Amino acid sequence: MNERYSRQVLFPGIGKEGQAKISSKHVLIIGAGALGSGSAEVLTRAGVGKLTIVDRDYVEASNLQRQQLYTEEDVAEKLPKAAAAEKRLKAINSDVKIISIIGDATPELLEDLVVGVDVMLDATDNFETRMAMNDVSQKYKIPWIYGACVGSYGMSFSMIPGKTPCLNCLLRTIPLQGMTCDTGGIISPTVQMVIAHQTAEALKMLVEDWESVRTSFVSFDLWRNQYTSMKMSKAKFPGCLSCGDERTYPFLDHENMTKTTVLCGRDTVQIRPSIKGELSLDRLAGQLNSLGYTVKGNPYLLSVEMGKERMVIFQDGRALIHGTKDLTHAKSIYQRILG
């Protein structure tokens, strides 16, 4: 057994047999930001056989506070996160096969990528992608590990098709956070805590110790010294369209994705969210004001100045991004602010 993994092999939960299993497995990580880069490093150092990372963004200065794989040089070169992550991970462990994909994790791409994947890790920044991951997980029977964090608050849940509730079930039970790091900020210890939860669960799955996989929903607030673990067995919903008796995998349907449209004759993109719901405009205005944005509004909408661009947000989650015709750029702005 490689001396590199000797301390890991000494751990009874893994041992030589478990290490051999880890080295033969394939993990897919969606997102190479704070959670993705940290989890990728942990699993690369642990000796996973193959690691595929998908991310559409590039490295910016604001990432360096918490995204541990990146450097000031990456910022200066505006390197795509996936490419920068691949370069660093290969330097950490040349035994691991690293595949980086620079692009959007669409349902079509996810369905192509999951062939031969043993575990998926959620490190994305928006619920549209998470819901697509959830449906891919259920359709192809691949376990995945949800994770999210903002401010000092984090959460994680391991989903095993056929055994645990899926994310679509959980949304009926748990009011998940709507803030993002761009609106609520983030401290690095919160990121590290979620990474610890996600990668520990991933290692359990990779060594096939299914009895040890945590089936409770974990949430915590490091600043307020709060930690909660909730049993989720009763959250499984027989009528769920993602994992229920008559599943249709609705979030793999192109019709249910976020709609982006360039308005005729204008430098404006309209965005309609894939998940319906009403926003608290007052709360959102307060968050954005505290971050230095110029915000004006009325009971029906908010207008947010964003440099050369302006975002108008309606109560139903619909938004107009003025100052651009680039659909990808507009969608990125939308998800950065609204998650």
Closest CA to 31 of 168, 181, 175, 138: 181
Residue 121 phi/psi, 5-degree rounding, is -115, 130
Interatomic CA distance for residues 54 and 31, integer angstroms: 6
Decide: helix, strand or coil at residue 76. helix
Interatomic CA distance for residues 41 and 199, integer angstroms: 10
pLDDT value for 28: 98
Domains of the chain (ranges; CATH) run 3-252 (3.40.50.720), 258-338 (3.30.310)
Per the CB < 8 A criterion, the answer to whether 187 and 151 are in contact is: yes
pLDDT value for 265: 60
How does pLDDT run along the chain (339 residues), one tens digit per residue?
579 999 999 999 999 999 999 999 999 999 999 999 999 999 999 999 999 999 978 888 989 999 999 999 999 888 889 999 999 999 999 999 999 998 878 899 999 999 999 999 999 977 888 999 999 999 999 999 999 999 999 999 999 999 999 999 998 877 665 567 766 789 999 999 999 999 999 999 999 999 999 999 999 999 999 999 999 988 999 999 999 999 999 999 876 666 776 765 668 887 878 766 788 888 889 988 888 889 988 877 788 988 888 888 888 788 888 988 888 888 888 888 886
Reading across the β-sheet that carries 26-30, which strands appear in turn?
A: 97-102, 50-55, 26-30, 119-122, 144-150, 153-159, 216-221, 226-231
pLDDT value for 326: 87
pLDDT 10s digits, 267-314: 888 787 876 678 888 888 998 888 888 998 887 778 898 888 888 888
Residues annotated catalytic, as ranges: 181
- pTM recorded for the entire structure: 0.80
Decide: helix, strand or coil at residue 285. helix
